[in-house]
Chains A and B, each alone.
Chain A
């Protein structure tokens, strides 16, 4: 939630990035075209857009789970592959993706285990992280004994365990009910505020994007591209009342209209084809 200092190294720097799936075949898909994206240190940026607009693909480019066809991706000043090897980010998906054969605390320990941490410090850090998501009492439980919301909190604790400067999240609250979802959003803001973590957050919920973000990046499909960036200046101390704020609704409307712009295009296009 802090302002971006001019000299600070950006958490994410995507320049002219494109991604083509199955190039040169009949199934060729231009998933992303000419993407420029900047996330400052401590900044919270959401990617929003209809299904198939490439927002998850963009997140996976930043995570170096896939390689871009063109352009460059840098994380904390490093090329994306190096950033992945150096564990510059933590990741959370819509599915909590906990390992069911491991206890809750051992799930949180996993990234530290892979980094070669010793057992003592590993357990201590994992317990700290579980305290942070208020699940300290459930350390020895198995994942399936927890509710969906609790599992998601474990996944967030795991993503934060190695204290990464950047958090990459792909619809992490998508499968949760409205009440749990709002609670988790507040928790995420609190945690990021406390740890100074930058976040790149994929969602298709407009209120969620507005409530969480410093900036909302609006994308459109075929080919996937960034159409609008909506700055959200609601301040850093957002709480439940923020959702009742007139400025909150203004921003929701602004994002909705930015999204709708393309829907109208599509409708007209469809009508045009229908007339022919």
Chain B
């Protein structure tokens, strides 16, 4: 039964993917599209396997920047959300700002950051990824810590629970699914940020910069790095989902899903 369900989950998108790539290949042959316009999938795959070492080392650089941003941003976001929960006034000042920042493309700041550090420094890229992750985590975790079921709070008050006990028994467990939702959003965001940050200059060592440096000379190679970027982003996403399924009870629901009435 589960095998069947797994097959049903895997086969349709797989068939779609194969058909799509087939049509892509066919369209290039039929319409005689030039390689600089759109290279053949087989050509891209060839470039991918030929340059696999370079793809791997570039992915390590970009992935490393994204990972540093993800870790530092998460730690900072969680830390500050605790402060916001503790100090009401601070929350009222910072939270609307954080929500607003989440809605604007702060990635553009990277060129400003680049001016602050040496040309070859990875710091501006990491800083950018950190910032993106930080705001996503902050907004979500702060919400999880604050939006505790009123019945739970009354119950804990009736048990004469101390503020620390309320934090440990209700607020933190309540915020855990919010943290994983934040990670699911911010893991791919960190990767995207790491790539795009490379477009703004600095060392030509990551996937993003290899894409830009190959677009004119060798379009198929540029696409090979795009493929690498896709795989890296997917890896980050899958790891964040796996972490969620390990640490939270099988519920099949994100925050807010399924109340216990």
Contacts and interface: CB of A to CB of B under 8 A. Distances in A.
A97 B155 contact: yes
Interface residues of B, number: 23
Interface of B: 149, 151-152, 154-161, 165, 169-170, 173-174, 176, 248-249, 251, 258, 260-261
Of the four ranges (under 10, 10 to 19, 20 to 34, 35 or more), the interface on chain A belongs to 20 to 34
Contacts of B248: 101
Of A91, A115, A175, most buried by chain B (CB within 10 Å of CB) is: A91
Contacts of B260: 95-98, 100, 143-144, 151
B251 A84 contact: no
A95 B261 contact: yes
A148 B169 CA distance: 23
B55 to A, nearest CB: 41
A73 interface: no
Given A60-B154, A97-B260, A151-B261, 17 more contacts: A63-B158, A65-B157, A90-B158, A91-B154, A93-B154, A95-B149, A97-B152, A99-B170, A100-B251, A101-B174, A102-B173, A114-B159, A114-B161, A142-B249, A143-B260, A144-B258, A148-B261
Contact of A101 (B154, B165, B173): B173
B159 A111 contact: yes
A100 to B, nearest CB: 5
A91 B158 contact: yes
27 contacts: A63-B158, A84-B158, A89-B158, A95-B261, A96-B260, A97-B152, A97-B154, A97-B155, A98-B260, A99-B169, A99-B170, A100-B251, A100-B258, A101-B173, A101-B174, A102-B173, A110-B169, A111-B159, A114-B159, A114-B161, A114-B165, A114-B169, A142-B249, A142-B251, A143-B260, A144-B260, A168-B158
